[in-house]
Chain A
């Protein structure tokens, strides 16, 4: 187990172009599950590959366990990585795949079988040891890749979108297994994903990346409830946070906080006239897409999320009073797009 740190880490692929990773500073905690979250092209995979030693930083420092590892090869860093494609060796059996790191690291041969069986047992793939990767399902391949990663007990685990090749149902169960797996082995883990649900479910802390820069680091609750800027506010949450521009401030509120007026009692409620244009029925909830009747906001789409327990009657074409509690409003500076101090209503 070890702490991974990056200091002013920069990666520029083409000279003169914007860096794929720009001045990233972060530090994991001992045994933490840290998720790097961002849209494609945000530099999260490049960042992970630099930590793994597969990509050389343009500038900056990477430390693992307090030691600068910039000039170390991947094998000297004591890390293990699970690739998006799993990158199993197709010509080797599952057993040989899992024992490959042991051979490569010159672990004495008599220990191999015991260690491979330990890893296979942990991941429930002991019955597959003689098979070849192509005879395995997606979920089984993912487990083999994980077993290959843990077998030599690395200091740090790096996972690059390991669930993205699984179908939706399998992904949910694999996510849960990953979580339990981390609870058992307690190795510092850095996990890359573009899927916010995965990030929220798995991460002890989430690093939100955009265009190579860290936008926010925080617990899932922090990044969701207290977004640092409008990017984080709209990237997390599905559907994303509603943003309304006023003269010098942007006001945001989550769709689930934008509710029929009778449901938001008290003086702290901020009221809008809301025209419902379209309703999406999702079983446990309804998502309303509409616009505000208030002057200046007619063209802006505003989304509301109603749980199935709430009253019906909010059909397309109808107009209602909707409210947001003042505590659920988030304010952003209009120029910097960063979080700003809350202000009393009205904002004009």
Chain B
């Protein structure tokens, strides 16, 4: 029986193992290999060049901008996402009329395919056809000639990209936190109410500390989704203007795939690894803690 069980277990596990090996492990090994060569798209064979790729990347101003922007993009987006989704989840936890509808609408951005959502936003923020600009002009806040270019000015472009990304990830974090909130025994907030705690005290002394583990999980997932995501930036600004929204995954993609410099792209993407390893470590830690309690 033990042998049969083990075979069955291995069989059930095999698809996941194969998936990881073929679609994640394979490319990762290739990326590490290419990073030390001069491989290019469209040529056969390559040579070992040592740390040459890393040396040239570290000297590139685009790379510096990408690292800085990736950090800003991830940190600012995560702060906005966590604050908004904490508030939303607390608001959505209590039953009220139309709660299901509100939940549905909030979840919508997460369900929409990421590229479609981003294309929608590209139009909303377009330099000529933007509805936001139209409304601002209509309200006489700007004239048609002085209106801001949402995606064309460095700081505005970064802000736009961050906000669109938040729009996409807030539903996801909210759902995670709602799940965590329902796991808090109902009598604990009640005890706090009887003990005399008002709204704010309950929120900062009871609700949020008790949500901390689940907030942590949401932060980790959100960080991964933000740090490695390039779709929103790629569609909205393609990293411009003047690299002001350039981020690491997009830089790796444009150099490696669009620019044919496979080796430099691979080397760039390897800079994502340490951050992701760190997050993976914390994630396993959080998962274990969730199991214990």
Contact = CB atoms under 8 A, between A and B. Distances in A.
Which 9 pairs across A and B sit closest by C-beta, in order of nearness? A87-B191, A75-B196, A104-B196, A101-B195, A104-B197, A87-B187, A105-B196, A74-B194, A81-B194
B201 A83 contact: no
A85 B195 CA distance: 15
Interface string B237-273: 0000000000000000000000000000000000000
Contact of A91 (B197, B198, B201, B209): B209
B209 to A, nearest CB: 5
Interface string B256-293: 00000000000000000000000000000000000001
B160 to A, nearest CB: 38
B95 interface: no
A152 B187 CA distance: 20
B191 A104 contact: no
A83 B212 CA distance: 24
Contact of B195 (A53, A84, A104, A134): A104
Interface string B175-200: 00000000001011011111111100
Interface in A68-83: 73-75, 79-81, 83
Contacts of A90: 188, 210
B194 A103 contact: no
Nearest to A151: B195
A104 B198 contact: yes
A314 interface: no
Contact of B194 (A80, A89, A92): A80
A54 B194 contact: yes
Interface residues of A, number: 25
B193 A87 contact: no
A152 B196 CA distance: 10
Contacts of A54: 190, 193-194
Contacts of B105: none
B187 A85 contact: yes
A155 interface: no
Contacts of A52: 194
B205 to A, nearest CB: 7
A83 B198 contact: no
Interface string A147-163: 01000100000000000
B196 A87 contact: no
A278 interface: no
Interface of B: 185, 187-188, 190-198, 201, 205-206, 209-210, 212, 293
Nearest to B201: A104
A118 interface: no
Contact of B190 (A83, A91, A101, A134): A83
A113 B209 CA distance: 23
Given A79-B194, A87-B188, 20 more contacts: A75-B193, A75-B194, A75-B195, A75-B196, A83-B187, A85-B187, A87-B187, A89-B188, A89-B210, A90-B188, A91-B209, A91-B210, A92-B209, A100-B192, A100-B195, A104-B192, A104-B195, A104-B201, A105-B195, A148-B195
A295 B205 CA distance: 70
Contacts of B206: 89
Given A91-B209, A103-B201, A85 B192 contact: no
Nearest to B193: A74
Contacts of B192: 89, 100, 104
Contacts of A73: 193
A79 B195 CA distance: 8
Given A87-B185, A90-B210, A91-B209, A75 B190 contact: no
Contacts of A85: 185, 187
A129 B78 CA distance: 37
A89 B212 CA distance: 13
Contacts of A101: 195-196
Nearest to A152: B196
Most A Cβ at <10 Å: residue of B191, B198, B205: B191
B200 to A, nearest CB: 11
Contacts of B196: 74-75, 101, 104-105, 152
27 contacts: A53-B194, A54-B190, A54-B194, A74-B193, A75-B197, A75-B198, A80-B195, A81-B191, A83-B187, A85-B187, A87-B187, A87-B188, A87-B190, A89-B188, A89-B205, A89-B206, A90-B188, A90-B210, A91-B209, A91-B210, A92-B209, A101-B195, A101-B196, A104-B195, A104-B197, A104-B198, A104-B201
